Structure 1
């Protein structure tokens, strides 16, 4: 629902979401103040009706936002760990094939280096733009073909070859988990509930009756700003591989330099 935000710098998305929230509540306060007395009657007790609804609804809505924010952050953190796991699996596999005789050693190491280079220069930039470049699959298939084409000649080569095949299976599994994580995101129906709940809470804030218009605007603006900040936080981490605030390929870069020496 908020995928448009990934096309903007992080600060711009924050300003848009919080700014719209503050603008809506400010306009709502200015328009609702003349009607509050007619709707809820004179003081005392004018705010008690609104407070009752806002307290009950706010508790459930705050709980919803908290749970969604925690789940979104957990998904983001899991995605970062998956990148680290894939990088570790590639590095281990690269060291496994270094025990192969030439020319198989050079071919297999070059296959892994090509895949890692594609991951850094094509896959991650594409994921940041919301795309899923398919080139990595072809490179993995090429490596698999070269690996399985090797015929061990000694018992030691058989042991190394078996270990390499098992490590390749581990790498392919980690890669698949990372790809699946890149397609995550909250269901649209949950976003509808979050936005609808925010609108209800903003309307209730507009229906409060305060003697000073400036104080009403200040308190309502602060509430709207906080609400917008929470929604921005959830939206920014909803797709962990998209936008400026996304999972970084730093573990892959470190492995590429330290293990492969590239």
Structure 2
């Protein structure tokens, strides 16, 4: 639902989301002050009625926002960990195939170098735009074919080959987890609940009785700004590989330079 936010700078997305919330809150307060007075009657006692509803609804809505924000951050942090784990697995696999004899050693190392280069120059930039490029899968398939085609000739080669196959399986599993982490996201129905809950809370805020319009606008604006900040934070971290606030490929770059000798 918030896919458009990833095409904007972080500061601009923040200004738009919070600005819309503050604008709706202040506009609603100005537009409904007279209507609220006519519907709810004189000021004494009105706030108690609104407070009762806002307190009950606000508790459940705040709990929902908190749980969604926590889950989104955990998913974002897990995606960063999966990138680090995949980089470590590639580096370990690269060192293990370095014990193979030539020409298999050069072929397998080149496959892993090609995969890592593709990850840095193609996959991560495409993931930022919401595209899952297939090139990495083709390179992994090529590496698997070369790895399984090797026939050990000595006992030490059998040990190295078995370890390399086990490490490849681990790497492939971590790679799938990283790909799955980028294709998640909050379901649209949950986004509608979040937005509807924000609208209900802002509507209840408009029903408060504050004698000074300026004070009512300030209170309403601050409340809407807080809601907008929470919604922006959830939206920005919803897809961990997209937007400016995205998972850093630094671990892969570091492994590429330090283990493979890339630049």
User: 1:128-187 CA deviation, whole Å, 9 max, x = no partner?
Assistant: 011001000000011011111111111111110111011101100000111111101011
| CA displacement at 1:43 relative to structure 2 | 2.6
Structure 1 residue ranges (4+ consecutive) displaced by more than 3 angstroms after TM superposition: none
The answer for the alignment partner of 2:104 in structure 1 is 104
| CA displacement at 1:21 relative to structure 2 | 0.1
Within the alignment, does 1:124 sit opposite 2:124 as a pair?
yes
The answer for the alignment partner of 2:251 in structure 1 is 251
Within the alignment, does 1:152 sit opposite 2:152 as a pair?
yes
| CA displacement at 1:46 relative to structure 2 | 1.6
The answer for the alignment partner of 1:57 in structure 2 is 57
Find the residue that maps to 1:197 and give its secondary structure. helix
**Count of aligned residue pairs for this structure pair:** 262
Separation of aligned partners in 2, 1:36 and 1:191: 29
Kindly report the root-mean-square deviation, in angstroms, between the aligned alpha carbons of the 2 structures: 0.6
The answer for the alignment partner of 2:83 in structure 1 is 83
Contact 2:25 / 2:206 at 8 angstroms: preserved in 1?
A: yes
Within the alignment, does 1:225 sit opposite 2:225 as a pair?
yes
User: 1:17-66 CA deviation, whole Å, 9 max, x = no partner?
Assistant: 00000000011000011112111111311211111111110011000000
Find the residue that maps to 2:240 and give its secondary structure. coil
Separation of aligned partners in 2, 1:45 and 1:141: 71
Gap runs ≥5 in structure 2: none
The answer for the alignment partner of 1:211 in structure 2 is 211
- The worse-fitting range, judged by mean Cα deviation, of 13-22 and 35-44 is 35-44
Separation of aligned partners in 2, 1:30 and 1:5: 29
Find the residue that maps to 2:184 and give its secondary structure. coil
Separation of aligned partners in 1, 2:136 and 2:221: 48
The answer for the alignment partner of 1:22 in structure 2 is 22
Separation of aligned partners in 1, 2:59 and 2:169: 47
The answer for the alignment partner of 2:40 in structure 1 is 40
The answer for the alignment partner of 1:73 in structure 2 is 73
Separation of aligned partners in 1, 2:194 and 2:73: 17
Q: Scaled by the length of structure 1, what TM-score is found?
A: 0.99
- The worse-fitting range, judged by mean Cα deviation, of 222-231 and 148-157 is 148-157
Gap runs ≥5 in structure 1: none
Find the residue that maps to 1:242 and give its secondary structure. coil
